[in-house]
Amino acid sequence: MELLVIKLFGAPMFIGLASMAGKRWGQAVAGFLGGLPMVAGPIILALWLQHGASFAAAAARAIPAGLLGIAAHILLFGLASQRFGWLASLLIGWAGFLVVGLGLVVMGQADQAWVSVAAMLSLILAARLVPHPVAPPTDTHLPKAELAARMGAALLLVVVLTTLASRLGTTLTGVLTVFPVASSVMPAFTFATAGRNALLVQLKGFCAGMTGLGAFAITVGLGLVDLGGWAFCLAVALSISTALIISHLLRRLEPTTSD
């Protein structure tokens, strides 16, 4: 029953909340919340309940390789948005994720310790390299159909990955756990409905939030077998703390948006 609840309500609910927060407080907040372990966290929890602590911990240790791919996805999405529409920019971003993330799997490096450090640094670098918006983003609307699409995409990823995990193996499952669902669906709709300035603000927010996901993955990967469920509590606390600190530092480094 717990696994079914996580699959059907966990990640979609979190994505819905992040989207509504963006409507209320802006795209930076939406990206920040979307970058936290809102999708990957419920997936790892479901894997723990379904396959045990060792499997889930091994999958968590491979998440940073996916985060390196996410950094490439976000940066390419932001750069491509200068010349292309939302669909082409999204496909270019996906290509970046697959090349980097699956490349590390093929090379047998996805679960190596150095990847965790590189992932955190790459997200910070991506936040700095994503172009700065040239004007403050306009207010965005959130139609019910768009909200449903965002939540449906999150649900699809959770169901597919938890169903196929035993066939994919721990490493590939861990990498694909962070396949850019939130950072695809939310930015694509934002770009299409609110323009490039709103998109760029949201992408920078994703980078900060994703550092929290990195802290979550490292903590669960190292502590789940010994600490059990307490590892998730510690991971969530470190995730939020890390993301808030990085977000604050990045905001201080950002130039002021011109009107």
Q: Counting Cβ atoms within 10 Å, is residue 49 exposed (0-12), middle (13-18) or buried (19+)?
A: middle
Position 161, amino acid? L
User: Is 245 contained in some domain?
Assistant: yes
Report whether 176 contacts 110 (CB < 8 A): no
User: Is 187 contained in some domain?
Assistant: yes
List the domain range (segments joined by +) for residue 209: 2-253
State residue 37's pLDDT score: 77
User: Is 258 contained in some domain?
Assistant: no
**Ranked by mean pLDDT, which of 69-83, 100-114, 180-194 comes out on top?**
69-83
- The rounded mean pLDDT for the chain is 81
| Lowest-confidence segment of 90-99, 104-113, 172-181, 195-204 by average pLDDT | 172-181
* CA–CA distances in Å: residue 47 to residues 52, 57, 63: 7, 9, 13
User: Is 239 contained in some domain?
Assistant: yes
Q: What is the pLDDT of residues 86-137, one digit of tens each?
A: 899 999 999 999 899 888 888 888 778 888 899 999 999 998 999 888 777 6
Q: Rounded to a whole number, what is the distance in angstroms from the first to the last CA of the chain?
A: 52
Nearest alpha-carbon partner for 194 in 257, 144, 141, 149: 141
User: Is 54 contained in some domain?
Assistant: yes
State residue 258's pLDDT score: 44
pLDDT at 211 over 70: yes
The first and second tokens of residue 168, run together, are 């994919």
User: Is 259 contained in some domain?
Assistant: no
User: Is 106 contained in some domain?
Assistant: yes
Q: Kindly provide the b/e burial profile for residues 197-221, where b requires at least 16 CB atoms within 10 angstroms of the residue's own CB.
A: bbbbbbbbbbbbbbbbbbbbbbbbb
Nearest alpha-carbon partner for 202 in 63, 86, 54, 58: 86
The first and second tokens of residue 32, run together, are 């920040």
Higher pLDDT, 38 or 78: 78
Report whether 71 contacts 126 (CB < 8 A): yes
Q: How many domains does the chain fold into?
A: 1
User: Is 207 contained in some domain?
Assistant: yes
pTM of the model: 0.81
